[in-house]
């Protein structure tokens, strides 16, 4: 019924031919039915009817960015880490024979074992910083970068650690934003020297090759989420 009604409206001129008001010849020409071109509806199944059908716009939903539990991440395409975090590199040194990872105990916290890490100097490339820190902390120069975590990982300092480092560094950082690299060790174990290359104060007391699970278990609690993420990303190389 609605279709018939629409057709009658479209095919009808604006004034009835039986208008009670007399029209002069100019008005008749203006309102002549021939001036109106009705839509050529033939039937409800006509293809012209399909052309007039309304198509609802497709709604799209943008995906929300993923957030990993207990850590913050940023794409490696971003040159700067989150505000308030010290730029840092982390080094996962792998023994290619055993697929185990280098870990060392801290001199200031003997029960805490960790992978090498260190700050990035101004205008220093993270890869360059990683190779420098590996040499300074372990004496190792026989190693190749085989992978990297493609985003920044951050962790917050516990309050007591933050206060201690504030005095040591002279800056108040909330925590560290790290770029992590996987190195394949190509040298011999006797190359490893915890005195480093002599340019920096020694940080470690002893070292060992450990499984990924052991590295996580022996890390301080506030670094464990980052370690889990790092070793998850590098896991294809540690099989």
Please list the residues that pair with 145 across neighbouring strands. Answer: 183
Q: Is residue 111 part of a domain?
A: yes
Radius of gyration of the chain (CA): 36
Domains of the chain: total? 1
CA distance 148 to 127: 9
* pLDDT tens per residue across span 69-85: 345 544 443 467 889 99
* pLDDT tens per residue across span 131-185: 999 999 999 999 999 999 999 999 999 999 999 999 989 999 999 999 999 999 9
Q: Which has more pLDDT, 33 or 122? A: 122
Question: What was the pLDDT predicted at 110?
Answer: 82
Residue 99 has pLDDT above 70, yes or no: yes
CA distance 192 to 116: 12
Q: Is residue 217 part of a domain?
A: yes
Structure tokens of 69?
């539990």
Q: Is residue 112 part of a domain?
A: yes
Q: What is the mean pLDDT of residues 209-231?
A: 97
User: What is the residue-wise DSSP string for 93-117?
Assistant: EE-TTT--EEEEEESSSTT-EE--E
Q: Which has more pLDDT, 177 or 5? A: 177
Mean pLDDT of the chain: 79
Q: Is residue 221 part of a domain?
A: yes
Q: Is residue 14 part of a domain?
A: no
* pLDDT tens per residue across span 14-44: 444 444 455 555 555 545 555 545 444 444 4
CATH number of domain containing 76: 3.90.79.10
Helix (H, G, I), strand (E, B) or coil at 92: strand
Contact call for residues 131 and 231 (beta carbons, < 8 A): no
Give percent of the chain with pLDDT exceeding 90.
61
Lowest-pLDDT range of 36-50, 75-89, 223-237: 36-50
User: What is the residue-wise DSSP string for 126-186?
Assistant: HHHHHHHHHHHHH----EEEEEE-SEEEEEEPPHHHHHHHHHHHSS--SEEEEEEEEEEE-
**Domain span at 154:** 72-237
Q: Is residue 35 part of a domain?
A: no
Q: Is residue 28 part of a domain?
A: no
Q: Is residue 65 part of a domain?
A: no
Q: Comparing C-alpha atoms, which of 76, 82, 75, 70 is closest to residue 216? A: 70
Flag whether the pTM goes above 0.75: no
Please list the residues that pair with 156 across neighbouring strands. Answer: 175
Q: What is the mean pLDDT of residues 211-232?
A: 97
């Amino acid at each position: 019924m609605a279709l018939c009604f629409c057709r009658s409206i479209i095919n009808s001129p604006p004034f009835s031919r039986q208008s009670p008001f007399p029209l002069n010849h100019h008005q008749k020409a203006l309102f002549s039915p021939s001036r109106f071109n009705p839509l050529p509806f033939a039937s409800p199944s006509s293809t012209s009817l399909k052309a007039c059908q309304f198509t609802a716009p497709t709604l799209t939903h943008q995906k929300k960015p993923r957030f990993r539990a207990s850590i913050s991440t940023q794409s490696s395409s971003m040159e700067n880490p989150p505000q308030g975090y010290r730029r840092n590199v982390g080094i996962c040194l792998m023994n290619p024979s055993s697929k185990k990872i280098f870990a060392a105990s801290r001199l200031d916290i003997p029960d805490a074992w960790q992978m090498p890490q260190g700050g990035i100097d101004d205008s220093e490339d993270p890869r360059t910083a990683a190779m420098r820190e590996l040499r300074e902390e372990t004496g190792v120069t026989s190693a190749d970068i085989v992978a990297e975590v493609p985003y920044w990982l951050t962790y917050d300092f516990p309050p007591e650690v933050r206060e201690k480092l504030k005095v040591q560094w002279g800056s108040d950082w909330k925590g560290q934003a790290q770029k992590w690299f996987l190195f394949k060790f190509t040298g011999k174990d006797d190359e490893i020297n915890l005195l480093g290359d002599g340019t920096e104060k020694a940080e470690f007391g002893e070292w060992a090759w450990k499984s990924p699970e052991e590295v996580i278990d022996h890390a301080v609690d506030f670094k464990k989420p980052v370690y889990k993420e790092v070793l998850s990303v590098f896991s294809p190389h540690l099989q």
